[in-house]
Structure 1
Amino acid sequence: MLDSVTANWKATVLSLHPEMFPGSLGLSLAGKALEKGIWALEKVDIRDFAYDKHRTVDAIPFGGGAGLVMRPDIVDTALDSVAGNAGPVIYLSPRGRLLDQNLVKELAAGPGVTLLCGRYEGIDQRVLDARDVIEVSVGDYILSGGEQAALILMDAVIRLLPGVMGNKESADEESFETGLLEYPLYTRPAEWQDRKVPEVLSSGHHGKIKQWRQEQAEKITRERRPDLWEKYLDKRNDTKLGR
């Protein structure tokens, strides 16, 4: 199913459950962008390429073990059907490269992506090798299938596409964009349950507000994500040294 043919960025999803798409991406900003043709979605049902009347796509693993494995011949035929689509082929897998903001930006800058969603115990390694498929993980946990992970990846990318978000400055200040977690946010009322908004935010002094937000972002990152904090320090030191 092709929802738009004029978009600059296209997501092609191969799945045993294509009805899961666009899911939440059909709502809010992503949904409006899909309607406007800013991005396109093509859904491919892997079962359509099965050879028997039962549309079987899996078999027991060689070497024994629990569960079933998706067959390489069927997955390969499904990939053949979208071979002309631009962008990398990504298999959502917990053993893949961790999805981070840098990878998200890379994918958003390209023409699109083909997302291969596994089920059962996974997909036969041979088709992944033969197709030079890139494996990407959305975190160190296990999901029921690759569909949820594909939605996460698509959501992160689509919001960066030109014309999707109205306020670029807001996106630039979010967590991970600067290497830091985002500073605390406050809105009305100015006092709630005896808790007051920090005075500096009502001062109207933009320089002091910017400094406060930077200090808070550094403090939160240092306390909650020491791994990110070390990377931030290394990058800042490299910048000072002109590397």
Structure 2
Amino acid sequence: MLFRQFFDPLSSTYTYLLASAPGREALIVDPVKEQVPQYLQAVEQLDLHLVRAIDTHTHADHITGLGDLRDASGCVTVMGAQTRAECVSQRVCDGELLEVDGLRLQALYTPGHTDDSFSFVLDPGRPRAVFTGDVLLIRGTGRTDFQNGDPQRSWDSIVNRLFRLPDETLVYPAHDYKGWTVSSIGEEKRYNPRIAGRGEADYVALMRGLKLASPKLMDIAVPANLACGQPKAA
């Protein structure tokens, strides 16, 4: 399998490009608008045909590259069924399979960070990896205090959905702020300080007490992302 991980330094966002092999159809997860030229360069140099661009949720800290990638490649833009983005071409439901030229991703509805958050499991028959968006981070979890986030739903999504995956399943989040690039379900069960050794009530109290500042680009990014990163026509 071909796998590439990209990083946007301004928003600390990870983007993932996957294909079964060079010269094949490909998909991309959580693209950032400013990094679209880099993605397209990789697609060209690896002789790929980009057919799907996926956002795990409506991001608040960067503008998505979905629209630009759609315009450049003709790819189908994908988000979860709960999204309010008007421009998304395909809305996936919990449990739905996306198949791209030998790759299989299963959509898992994992709300909590936002109410439209999805994770995507690679090869669900024998899970190899899961792209968790912001609901589960490496040694952390996504905030739950805006866009209809909910700490109880976050706990349920992590403990009762993601942690049901095999321990060896690799965890690829949409962000990291410490330089970590990958984790695993087993590691997060044991070492994630917001989850390990805590019960649901403790987690909910912790998340409600964080008192975090709003993302700097939130007022710009959310409206733009509801239009797939492109301004609406006047």
**TM-score of the pair, normalised by structure 2:** 0.26
Higher strand share: 2
Bigger Rg over Cα: 1
**TM-score of the pair, normalised by structure 1:** 0.25
Higher helix share: 1
